[in-house]
Amino acid sequence: MKRRITFSVVTALVTLGLAGLTACGSSGQGASSLDKDAKVSLTMWTGQTENSEKILEGLAAEFQKAHPNVSIDVSSGASSTDDLLQKLSAGFVGNSYPDISYAYGSWASELEASGRTLDITDRVAEPDVKWNEFPEGARLTARPTGKKTIGFPAIVDNLTLLYNKTVFDAAGVPYPTDQWTWDDLRAAAKKLTNPATSTYGYAYSVSGAENTVWKMWPQLWQNGGEILSPDQKTAAFDSDAGVKALTFLRDMAVTDKSVYLDQTDTKYEQLFRNNRIGMMASGPWVLYDLKTARTKYGVTLLPGTNGDHQTASGPDLWALFDHHDKNREYWAYEFANWLTSAAQDERWNVAVGNLPLRSSEVGSAAFKTQVKTYPGLDIMAANGANAKKVRPTVSGYVGLSQAIGAAISEVLQGRAEPKPALEKAATKANTALEAAR
Amino acid sequence: MTTTELSPAATAPSGADQPDRSGRRHDRWRAALTGWLFAGPATLIVLGLSIFPAGWAFVLSLEKWNGFSPPEFVGGKNYSRLITDAEFADAVLHTIIYTAMFVPMSVLAGLFLAVALNRRIRFIGIYRTAIFVPFVASAAATGILSTYLFSPQYGLVNNVLQRLGLPAQGWLEDPAQAMVVIAIMSLWGQAAFTTVIYLAALQDVPGELIEAARVDGAGSWQTFWRVIWPQLRPVTVFVTIWQTIGAIQLFDLVYTTTRGGPLNATRTIVYFLWDKAFRSLDFGYGSAAAYVLFAITLLTTIGVVVYSRRKNMEAF
């Protein structure tokens, strides 16, 4: 008897729990034909914090005012942009994911593979979208496998060379120019390095994360190398070009000892601000902190190889997701299109100190004001033209990045030789690429 | 749970129409319901937040899943991959090294501090609080603190070494030393825990035993090892297991100090599985590693419990 009672109580509790769970899930079928005036509520995860999150909320409110039938729930979505990936994955499993989400470019192929993204290829081909105003790298990233366009570019940036004028002045070394070669950088770094004051000429990441990896791509490309084979199925970074690029860094780090090797990626920017590091390859995201710390800095192109100064870029996306509802699909697209148009982008990306998303914004008054606040921003924007190649968007890139990241960090710490380390990494990367297919 | 006790009604012949018993049955029904109303919410939380995810993780460990594409059933492949994975073997080894350093140190330090604090001296309250403060600090704070203390170029520790004319060390950036630094920092944070447990146990040692030993002419050293230490043995078994379980799950301090580096020298099992699941997006493989960790923890615990039961140490 008692057992039966317990059983029924448990059943009741479980049923209650399940009912609660289903209530949280998405409700029913969406509209199958488009009605532009129907009430629509959208969810948007921005992955942003503080100021830039507030600006986006403001822009969404403005959009809702212009279209009263649309309501947009804007939130950061996760405590950090990195955590958004986990949230999205969990959201797909639980069938409750946003209409629009910020996404790192490196997630693009995973997101497309989920089958939950919209395909807006036809719509962005319309001339008034001015799709070609977005940098090429960003456009390619929004179309990770070349089949579907899964969203709009959200933020673009690229690597430039930042130098600390205080460190250069103290060592009496002339500032870097846009005519520099990598050998110029090496010679200067050597002169700037001073063990007595713990000052380093250059900084490089040895965490093995993507931060370690993408800072080597420009040199690989400048030497004529490629990350992947033309069919995108195998790794190609263990070429002579790759060995040359990594040997150069090894010589600086191990032979000259002129490089501060950051194990966790958390210190070098801080040390640069505090006049302990002379140069680093970085982008617009550090300008705000440099300004706050009143560091005297300068910005120029990355050093070149035979006059080729190409750089790597890191485009992020506003990914759009499918809820099998024509109305939501329509308005999610409309809002993302509106948000990334030149007029709105000036009020978000440019206002928070990012690079302008579209080439047409560079001449705008808003951008000119920002250049005054953050000197060097104009050089970074112009450097977008040097981002000639895109990081691969195949879904095995994560594994490839980890393999070569480990190799770079071993070599720079004097634990391996460039050629065998790269070859070993290429084998590992091939396994990862194979597994992801 | 309330179901374990055998109720007389269940054993009695099921003649439900005995009028004199219906009132009692009604009472029992109410008692059971009350019990379940108390236990229900907690049971649901345990089921929902522990048992269900654990079960799901087991299913995941048999699949290949990147979090986005549909999962693919691969059977025991993730587990067989683990056996041959040199990276995983390294992670296990690093975890063992850390455990072997941290557990004895924290038990001995706890015992020493507890004995030192178990006396009537001035400001004893302040000392006891001071020992306990690091325990309250989060691992994140401890981690950030250690990166400042042990930075090879700019850290305080190397600064002191240089003032003393000793060579500067690589600390967190030297693969041979990083794990030692992490063990020291976790000791700093965790010694308070063993200290408090030992303090409580010391205060439970009957005063007459110690007095009797003194009357018999035992010195304080002899009193400690012959009288007090045997009394502390069950507590020692307990803190050893507790600290071991904590040690093999080391993650937060690694994450906030070295991120598994330098050159993977501080990559523990939990860091390995986190890295596989959330950075390589290989959730199945990460879950398999988690289950291996679970097996290790379970076996360690069972082993020590059985051992202490045999020895009659009453730790559990």
Residue B96: partners with Cβ closer than 8 Å, 6 or more residues away: none
CA distance B21 to A205: 78
What is the predicted pLDDT for the residue at A260?
95
Residues of A in contact with B2 (CB under 8 A): 6
The residue to which tokens 């002339």 are assigned:
A174
CA closest to B28 among chain A residues: A2
What's the token pair of residue A223? 């030497």
What's the token pair of residue A149? 């366009």
What's the token pair of residue A105? 């470019």
Across the interface, whether the CB atoms of B3 and A113 are under 8 A apart is answered no
Across the interface, whether the CB atoms of B68 and A399 are under 8 A apart is answered no
Query: Under a CB-based contact definition with an 8 Å cutoff, are residues A336 and A102 in contact?
Result: no
What is the predicted pLDDT for the residue at A8?
41
pLDDT band at A12 (very low <50, low <70, confident <90, very high): very low
Alpha carbon separation from A72 to A29, A38, A59, B210 (Å, rounded)? 19, 14, 10, 73
Across the interface, whether the CB atoms of B258 and A264 are under 8 A apart is answered yes
CA distance B186 to A245: 40
Query: Closest Cα of chain A to B260: distance in Å?
Result: 9
Tens of pLDDT, residue by residue over A165-184, are: 999 999 999 999 999 999 99
Q: Is the pLDDT of residue B8 over 70?
A: no
Please give the torsion angle defined by the CA atoms of residues B65, B68, B72 and B76, in that order, rounded to the nearest 10 degrees.
Answer: 10
In this prediction, residues A320-331 reach a mean pLDDT of 94
Across the interface, whether the CB atoms of B67 and A110 are under 8 A apart is answered yes
Question: Higher-confidence residue: A7 or B242?
Answer: B242
What's the token pair of residue A216? 């080597």
Residue B196: partners with Cβ closer than 8 Å, 6 or more residues away: B114, B132
CA distance A415 to A392: 28
User: CB burial class (10 A; 0-12, 13-18, 19+) of residue B302?
Assistant: exposed
CA B72 to chain centre: 34
Residues in chain A: 437
pLDDT band at A162 (very low <50, low <70, confident <90, very high): very high
The mean-pLDDT minimum among A140-149, B124-133, B260-269 falls in: B124-133
What's the token pair of residue A47? 């992955």
Query: Under a CB-based contact definition with an 8 Å cutoff, are residues A110 and B66 in contact?
Result: yes
Question: Higher-confidence residue: A363 or A377?
Answer: A377
CB atoms within 10 A of CB B295: 10
Q: Is the pLDDT of residue B206 over 70?
A: yes
The residue to which tokens 């192929």 are assigned:
A109
Query: Under a CB-based contact definition with an 8 Å cutoff, are residues A156 and A142 in contact?
Result: no
Residues of B in contact with A85 (CB under 8 A): 67, 281
What b/e readout covers A390-404, taking b as 16+ CB neighbours within 10 angstroms? bbbbbbbbbbbbbbb
Q: A270 touching B, CB under 8 A?
A: no
Query: Closest Cα of chain B to A238: distance in Å?
Result: 20
The residue to which tokens 């004529």 are assigned:
A224
Tens of pLDDT, residue by residue over A205-262, are: 998 888 899 999 999 999 999 999 999 899 999 999 999 999 999 999 999 999 999 9
Tens of pLDDT, residue by residue over A98-133, are: 999 999 988 888 899 888 999 999 999 999 999 999
Q: Is the pLDDT of residue B147 over 50?
A: yes
User: A28 in the Ramachandran plot: left (φ > 0), alpha (ψ -120 to 50) or beta?
Assistant: left
Query: Under a CB-based contact definition with an 8 Å cutoff, are residues A180 and A333 in contact?
Result: no
CB atoms within 10 A of CB A126: 10
Residue A10: partners with Cβ closer than 8 Å, 6 or more residues away: B36
Percent of chain A with pLDDT over 70: 93
Question: Higher-confidence residue: B167 or A62?
Answer: A62
Question: Higher-confidence residue: A204 or B4?
Answer: A204
User: CB burial class (10 A; 0-12, 13-18, 19+) of residue B119?
Assistant: exposed
CA distance B63 to A3: 37
pTM of the entire predicted model: 0.81
Residues of B in contact with A260 (CB under 8 A): 153
Q: Is A154 helix (H, G, I), strand (E, B) or coil?
A: strand
List the one residue out of B288, B259, B83, B179 whose CA is nearest residue A406: B259
Query: Closest Cα of chain B to A207: distance in Å?
Result: 7
Q: A207 touching B, CB under 8 A?
A: yes
The residue to which tokens 């992670």 are assigned:
B91
In this prediction, residues A381-401 reach a mean pLDDT of 88
Residues of A in contact with B147 (CB under 8 A): 264, 266-267
Rg over CA atoms, chain B: 26
Cα torsion angle, A281, A285, A288, A293, sign: negative
CA distance B302 to B163: 50
CA distance A302 to A220: 13
Amino acid in the structure at residue A255: T
User: CB burial class (10 A; 0-12, 13-18, 19+) of residue B106?
Assistant: buried
In this prediction, residues B201-219 reach a mean pLDDT of 88
Percent of chain B with pLDDT over 70: 91
CA distance B301 to A405: 38
User: A126 in the Ramachandran plot: left (φ > 0), alpha (ψ -120 to 50) or beta?
Assistant: beta
What is the predicted pLDDT for the residue at B20?
57
Instruction: Compute the mean pLDDT over every residue in chain B, rounded to the nearest whole number.
Output: 86
Instruction: Compute the mean pLDDT over every residue in chain A, rounded to the nearest whole number.
Output: 88
Residues of B in contact with A425 (CB under 8 A): none
In this prediction, residues A388-410 reach a mean pLDDT of 89
The residue to which tokens 């049923």 are assigned:
A15
**For A299-364, where are the alpha helices, taking DSSP H only?**
326-339, 342-345, 351-352
CB atoms within 10 A of CB A56: 23
The residue to which tokens 């780090």 are assigned:
A253
Residues of B in contact with A265 (CB under 8 A): 259
What is the predicted pLDDT for the residue at A44?
96
In this prediction, residues B120-146 reach a mean pLDDT of 85
List the single residue in A17, A113, A402 with the smallest CB-CB distance to B68: A113
Element (H, E) at B109: helix B86-117
CA distance A167 to A276: 7
Tens of pLDDT, residue by residue over B150-159, are: 988 888 998 8
Tens of pLDDT, residue by residue over B61-104, are: 999 988 888 888 998 999 999 999 999 999 999 999 999 999 99
In this prediction, residues B46-54 reach a mean pLDDT of 88
CA distance B290 to B284: 10
**For A197-325, where are the alpha helices, taking DSSP H only?**
210-214, 217-222, 240-250, 268-273, 287-292
Residues of A in contact with B179 (CB under 8 A): none
Across the interface, whether the CB atoms of B2 and A6 are under 8 A apart is answered yes
The mean-pLDDT minimum among A210-219, B105-114, B144-153 falls in: B144-153
Domains in chain B: boundaries: 2-73, 77-310
| DSSP symbol at A195 | G
What is the predicted pLDDT for the residue at A158?
92
Alpha carbon separation from A101 to A46, A344, A394, A407, B161 (Å, rounded)? 6, 17, 20, 33, 50
Q: How far apart are the first and last CA of chain A?
A: 56
3-class secondary structure for B208-244? Answer: HHHHHHHHCCCCHHHHHHHHHHHHHHHHHHHHHHHHH
CA distance B236 to B76: 38
DSSP structure string for A157-176: -B-EEEEEHHHHHHHT-PPP
List the single residue in A92, A198, A399 with the smallest CB-CB distance to B154: A198
List the single residue in A114, A399, A406 with the smallest CB-CB distance to B69: A114
In this prediction, residues A397-424 reach a mean pLDDT of 93
Residues of A in contact with B32 (CB under 8 A): 2, 5-6, 9
CB atoms within 10 A of CB B219: 9
In this prediction, residues B285-293 reach a mean pLDDT of 94
What's the token pair of residue B97? 């090294």
CA distance A402 to A429: 8
Query: Under a CB-based contact definition with an 8 Å cutoff, are residues A340 and A154 in contact?
Result: yes
Whether domain B77-310 has CATH 1.10.3720.10: the reply is: yes
What is the predicted pLDDT for the residue at B210?
87
User: CB burial class (10 A; 0-12, 13-18, 19+) of residue A286?
Assistant: middle
Interface test with A, best of B28, B68, B181 (most A CBs within 10 A): B68
Q: Is the pLDDT of residue A422 over 90?
A: yes
Q: A92 touching B, CB under 8 A?
A: yes
List the one residue out of B183, B155, B184 whose CA is nearest residue B168: B155
Across the interface, whether the CB atoms of A86 and B147 are under 8 A apart is answered no
What's the token pair of residue A370? 């920002």
Query: Closest Cα of chain B to A397: distance in Å?
Result: 10
CA A346 to chain centre: 19
CA distance A71 to A331: 10
Query: Closest Cα of chain A to B172: distance in Å?
Result: 9
Alpha carbon separation from A426 to A34, A334, A398 (Å, rounded)? 49, 43, 13
Q: Is the pLDDT of residue B16 over 60?
A: no
What's the token pair of residue B305? 């419990």
The residue to which tokens 């958004």 are assigned:
A84
What is the predicted pLDDT for the residue at B7?
44
List the one residue out of A332, A326, A338, A316 whose CA is nearest residue A98: A332
What is the predicted pLDDT for the residue at B80?
93
What's the token pair of residue B39? 């236990």
Tens of pLDDT, residue by residue over A256-298, are: 999 999 988 888 999 999 999 999 999 998 998 898 899 999 9
Across the interface, whether the CB atoms of A267 and B147 are under 8 A apart is answered yes
CA B79 to chain centre: 25
